[in-house]
Every structure is written in structure tokens, then in C-alpha cells.
Amino acid sequence: MDSFSLIEQAQQRLFEHTLMLSTRLEAQQKSSEALLNDYTQLEQRSRIDPLTQLANRAWLEEQLRERFALCRAQQRTLSVVFIDLDHFKVLNDRYGHQAGDQVLAQFGSTLSALTRAGDLAGRYGGEEFLVLLPDETARTAEHFAERIAQRLQASPMVQVGHESLYISVSIGIACLDDGEFDNEREIINAADQSMYAIKRAGRGGIAVYGRDLPSR
């Protein structure tokens, strides 16, 4: 066999080997991308409350901790809106837990529709919800809360038979500008206190910490 034929064979083998390596590399890359995609989806699902499709409590608390520290460091404001669905236990007892779940899911959709990019709405537990509003003052957070109340007055959450179920909410607001909050737990507690002031007053209203309640 002459040297030219040997070179041709060597080139052919090199080409076949390169093609095989390329095919393997492509397969490995696709496998890695699939694994990364699965991991990303799993991570996202771990942050979401499955019923309402909002952030779950763990993700809310983690994000509030980070955003609270960032806003404090950059001297920016931050408002926390604490929402409790009024008479939810009565609704569950009267119409059943399936209707209650439908109300929670629909309320989650309502919050999603009313929040903007950069806000974070989530289910804090049971029928309690939390919304984080970076760069929003107590006044603008109150306007946001009013839009929630107006939407609930205008639209039923679910239809049970021939009956339309409307709900009201008790809302408490705390703003980083309006209190000497040392950490994110204190601002949540302040919003929670304001919400409970509304519940004690008869439910279905909005209270702002530091304005509607005495300071700590």
C-alpha cells in the first residue's frame, strides 16, 4: 500500500473518530441541559404554593430577608402587606373545603393580576397572604390594598350552584419608613398587628402601622 493510501485511511479514521466524539459530546450536552432544566423546574416548584400558584412561605421569608437587608443598605423603602380572608372558616364549614380551595386559588389569581414586576405575592399560611412591595411607601401600598378590596367587591371568587361567593379581607400594612424595624420579622409582625386591629374592629378594612396603631 502506498503512502498516499495510508494517509487517506488515516484521515478517514480521524474523521470517523472525530464524528463519534462529536456525537457523544452532543448527547452529553443534551443530557446536561435536560438535567439542568429538570433542576430549574424542581427549584421553581419548591418555591410555589401549589394551590394558589403564588410564592410559598419559605420563599416569601427568604426574599423578605434579602430585600429588607438590601433596602436598608441602599436607603430605599419597602412595604409589607398582610392579608387575611375574612370568615374563611365559616365559608369552609358552609360550602365545603372544595369551595374553600377554589376561593384560595381564585384569590391567588387576583393577587397575581394586581401585582407588578418586582413585587412578590405569596401564601403565608392557611387563608393568610403576604405581598412584598419594594420601593413603595405606606401610601402607595394602601392604594394597592384598596385595589384588592375593590376587585373583591366587584367580582365573586367562585360560583356555588346558583350562588356567587364574594369575600372581604382584612389588610395590615407596614412600611420600612414608618418604624424602627431591626429585621424582617419585626416588619411582618407590624403588618400582622395592623391586620388584627382590622379584624378586632369588625373585619373588611385596611390599617397602616404607625398611623392607625400606636407605635411599638
Please tell me what DSSP assigns to residue 178: G
What is the C-alpha separation between 59 and 66, in angstroms, rounded?
11
Residue type at 133? L
8 labelled catalytic: no
Cell numbers standing for residue 176 = 420600612
Given 61, 127, 136, 163, the catalytic residue: 127
Residue type at 197? A
What is the C-alpha separation between 58 and 50, in angstroms, rounded?
13
What is the C-alpha separation between 186 and 139, in angstroms, rounded?
20
Q: Using alpha carbons, select from 159, 172, 174 the residue that is nearest to residue 203.
A: 172
Positions annotated as catalytic residues are: 127
